[in-house]
Structure 1
Amino acid sequence: MDRTPPEILRQTLSYRSRKFDFEVNQLRLPNQVEGEWACIRHPGGALAVPVLPDGRLVLVRQYRFAAEGWLLEFPAGTVEDHEDPAATIAREIEEETGYRAGTWQHLGDFFLAPGYSDEVIYAYLATDLEKLEHPPAGDEDEDIEVLALTPEELIAAIRDGEPVDAKTVTAFWLYQQLNSAEL
C-alpha cells in the first residue's frame, strides 16, 4: 500500500469561527484520483476523567446546541493557541466542576471524528480531587450540572438511553482498561 500523502491541488478556507475553521481541499491521491474533501480544522480538546476518593466519577450534564439536548460528559475544553493540553484540562476541571486534581495521568490521545475533522482529544485521569471553596467562574455560555456517579451508574445511564458523547465513552473505556491492568 502506498502511504504517500495526497497532493493538495487547491485549499480554500470557507469559514473561520471562534473555535474552528472549515476548509475545502482539492486533492490528488497517490492513485491519481482527484476529488474534493472538506475538513473542520480544530485546535484539539483536553478531557479529564475525574475520580473521587470513593471511586465515583465526576461528570457534567450540559446542553449541546448541535445535539439539541443535554449530554452527560466528562469535563473538557478546547486547547487554546500555544497551550499545553494538560494546562487546558487543569483549568477546565476547576471551572466546570469546582474540583482541583492533585494527581494527573495521561490516558491517551484520540481523534474525535477523523472523517471530517482533525480534532484530537487529549485524555487525562484526574485523582486526589479537592473541592474548591471558591471555584473560578466558568464560561458564561455554558449551563452545567455537576454529577458524581459510580462506574456502574454511568454504564446504567448509557444503557438506559442517557445521551453521552463519544469522547466520554472513549475516555471511560481507557480508564476502565487502566483499572483492569492495575488489578
Structure 2
Amino acid sequence: MTDPIDPTRPGQPGVDIPDARGRTGLDRTGRELTGNPRVRVKDVRLLSSNWHVFRANTLEYQRADGVWETQHRETYDRGNGATILLYSLEKRTVLLTRQFRYPAYVNGHADGNLIETAAGLLDDDDDPLTAIRREAREETGHEIGEVSPVFEAYMSPGSVTEKLFFFAAPYSPDTRMDAGGGLADEGEEIELLEIDIDEALGRIGVDIIDAKTIMLLQWAALSGPFRRVPGA
C-alpha cells in the first residue's frame, strides 16, 4: 500500500494526476449516488490507490426515527470477480485448486494454503463470463464449454465493494488443454485437486474453509448438478 494521500496537497496520484494504473478522479466515486434518499455522501477521501483503491467516506444517514447522523465508512475497492465450480456428473467429482493465500496465513491459517474453486478478478473491460473462462483455463487447464450462471453475491459488504459472479460448468478429459497451475509471472503456483463431491461436502469446515467454495459446493448438492431428486 502506498502512503496515505493528503487531499490538501496538489498533484495527488489517483485524484488529479494519474496513479500507477493511469486513473484519476478516484475521490469522486460515491458522490453521485442518489438511489437511497436516506443516504447523503458528503466526502470521499482517497487513502491509497497502489493497485486496488482504499477510500475513507463520510456520509449522512437518516435513521428510522427521522434523525440524520454522520457516519464514517472505509471501503476497499478491488473490483469485481468471478468463480466457477467445475464438475463431472459421470465421475461425481469436482475440480478444485489449492494455493497459498497470505491474508489467510497472516490471520491464523496454519500454512496459508486454501482449497478453492477457480476464480479471479475481472479485468477493466471484462464481462464476468469472459473472465471466468480465462481464469478456468489458466488455473485448471480446462477449456470449458457451456457455462451456467448460478448467482451473484457481495462477499464482505461491511468494507469490501467486490461483487462475485458464481458459475458452474462440466469438465471432462476432452476439455483438458494443458496442465493449468496459474501464471508464474503473477506469482501463482496452483495445485489441482479432483475430489468426490460427497467427500468435498464432508470437508466443509475442516480444510475447505473458503466462502465461495463452500457456497458453490452447497449449491451443487442442494439445487445444482448433484441434487437428489425425490423418488429417484
TM norm structure 2: 0.71
Matched residue, 1:146: 192
Q: Distance in 1 between the 2:226 and 2:142 partners?
A: 26
SS of residue matched to 1:51: strand
* Greater than 3 Å deviation, 4+ residue runs: 133-137, 179-182
**Unmatched tracts of structure 1, length 5 or more:** none
Residue 56 of structure 2 is aligned to residue 13 of structure 1: no
Q: CA deviation at 1:133?
A: 4.0
Among 147, 150, 165, the residue aligned to 1:122:
165
Matched residue, 2:152: 109
Q: Distance in 1 between the 2:50 and 2:38 partners?
A: 27
Q: CA deviation at 1:86?
A: 0.5
Deviates more, 1:97-106 or 1:138-147: 138-147
Among 104, 107, 128, the residue aligned to 1:85:
128
Contact 2:181 2:192 in 1 (8 A): no
Cα 1:139/1:46, change in 2 over 3 Å = farther
Q: Distance in 2 between the 1:142 and 1:62 partners?
A: 8
Residue 215 of structure 2 is aligned to residue 170 of structure 1: yes
Matched residue, 2:176: 131
**Unmatched tracts of structure 2, length 5 or more:** 1-35, 106-111
Q: Distance in 2 between the 1:150 and 1:180 partners?
A: 11
The superposition leaves residues 11-58 of structure 1 with CA deviations (integer Å, 9 ceiling, x where unpaired) of 01111132x211110110023110210111131111010012422100
Contact 2:96 2:117 in 1 (8 A): yes
Write the letter of the residue equivalent to 2:44.
Q
Q: CA deviation at 1:166?
A: 0.8
Q: Distance in 2 between the 1:137 and 1:42 partners?
A: 20
Cα 1:121/1:15, change in 2 over 3 Å = same
What percentage of residue pairs aligned between the two structures are identical? 23
Q: CA deviation at 1:170?
A: 1.4
Larger Rg computed on CA atoms: 2
TM norm structure 1: 0.89
Task: Please give the root-mean-square deviation of Cα atoms over the aligned residues, in Å.
Answer: 2.0
Deviates more, 1:170-179 or 1:77-86: 170-179
Q: CA deviation at 1:104?
A: 0.6
